[in-house]
Amino acid sequence: MKPWKVASLKTRSAANRRASSRRAAALMVVLAWWLAVVACSRNLAPQSQMNATLQAAPTQTSAIPTQTVSAAPEIGATADGGQANPQPAAPAREPTSTAGPLGPNPTSRVTQEPPILYYTQAGDTLNAVAARFNVQPKEINSPEKIKTEGLFDPGVLLLIPPRLGETSSSTPLIPDSEVIYSPSALDFDIKEFSLEAGGMLAKDYREWRSNGWYDGPGVIQRV
């Protein structure tokens, strides 16, 4: 065989070997990729199926019944190490009074209020004062002798039981003779007194009443 043919054959055989090795390497790469895809698909399939199952399953809500849990009964241990029958706990006893026998009822002390100190005024009688303070005439006391009939002298001290809720002071703020007609006001001249005082009534004060005009002293006289 000629030398150039031998060289050509060697070149072809080397090229064939290189092509075969490339195909084998490519085949190995494809095979490895395929195995990886198969493995991943197997791992993903259950997860996807599970998700699909969860999505397909209807959501059900049901009311959870509540139960009142009572205290468990106490269980005592027997001598042989076993457990005796459960025994419920004894109910709590109500506290009992340990006070001794009661003696006779003690007499209650009634706090008495002090009596009303009233000084008689002109025109007072025993029955009138008793009716005014809602007491009986015999319940009224005094350091002096009480007149059962007739008028009291002014300024007599009377001790009267406190039967009324609210009373005013027995001391008069203004004597009756200063504000009402009485025997002591027979000689009292209102106009003369107003002029001597020199107040507003003594000036040109006028007021219309039901039957005409009146000056200051005239208004006081009419009232």
Q: How deeply is 68 buried, as exposed, middle or buried, from its count of CB atoms within 10 A (0-12, 13-18, 19+)?
A: exposed
pLDDT of residue 17: 78
In this predicted model, what pLDDT tens digit does every residue of 133-182 receive, in sequence order?
999 999 999 998 888 888 999 999 999 998 876 656 656 666 665 666 66
In a domain, residue 199? The reply is yes
pLDDT of residue 202: 76
Higher-pLDDT residue of 177 and 207 is: 207
Q: Is the pLDDT of residue 7 over 50?
A: yes
Q: Is the pLDDT of residue 58 over 70?
A: no
In a domain, residue 215? The reply is yes
Share of the chain above pLDDT 90, in %: 14
Please count the other Cβ atoms lying within 10 Å of the Cβ belonging to residue 124.
19
Q: How many domains does the chain have?
A: 3
Q: How many residues does the chain have?
A: 223
Q: Is the pLDDT of residue 119 over 90?
A: yes
pLDDT of residue 127: 93
In a domain, residue 141? The reply is yes
Mean pLDDT on 27-40: 80
Share of the chain above pLDDT 70, in %: 54
Backbone angles phi, psi at 207, to 5 degrees: -145, 135
pLDDT of residue 214: 84
In a domain, residue 123? The reply is yes
In a domain, residue 63? The reply is no
Structure tokens at 132: 């005014």
The three-state DSSP-derived secondary structure of the chain is: CCHHHHHHHHHHHHHHHHHHHHHHHHHHHHHHHHHHHHHHHHHHHHHHHHHHHHHHCCCCCCCCCCCCCCCCCECCECCCCCECCCECCCCCCCCCCCCCCCCCCCCCCCCCCCCEEEECCCCCCHHHHHHHCCCCHHHCECCCCCCCCCCCCCCCEEEECCCCCCCCCCCCCCCHHHCCCCHHHCCCCHHHHHHHHCCHHHCCCEEEECCEEEEHHHHHHHC
In a domain, residue 200? The reply is yes
Higher-pLDDT residue of 214 and 135 is: 135
Mean pLDDT of the chain: 72
| Residue that has been written with the tokens 């150039």 in this structure | 4
Q: Look up the domain containing 4 and give its range.
A: 1-39
In a domain, residue 127? The reply is yes
pLDDT of residue 79: 45
In a domain, residue 48? The reply is no
Structure tokens at 165: 């809720």
pLDDT of residue 135: 93
Q: Is the pLDDT of residue 204 over 60?
A: yes
Q: Is the pLDDT of residue 108 over 70?
A: no
156, 142 Cβ separation under 8 angstroms? yes
pLDDT of residue 64: 54
How far are the Cα atoms of 71, 87, 209, 220 from residue 182, in angstroms, in the given order?
A: 92, 98, 25, 15
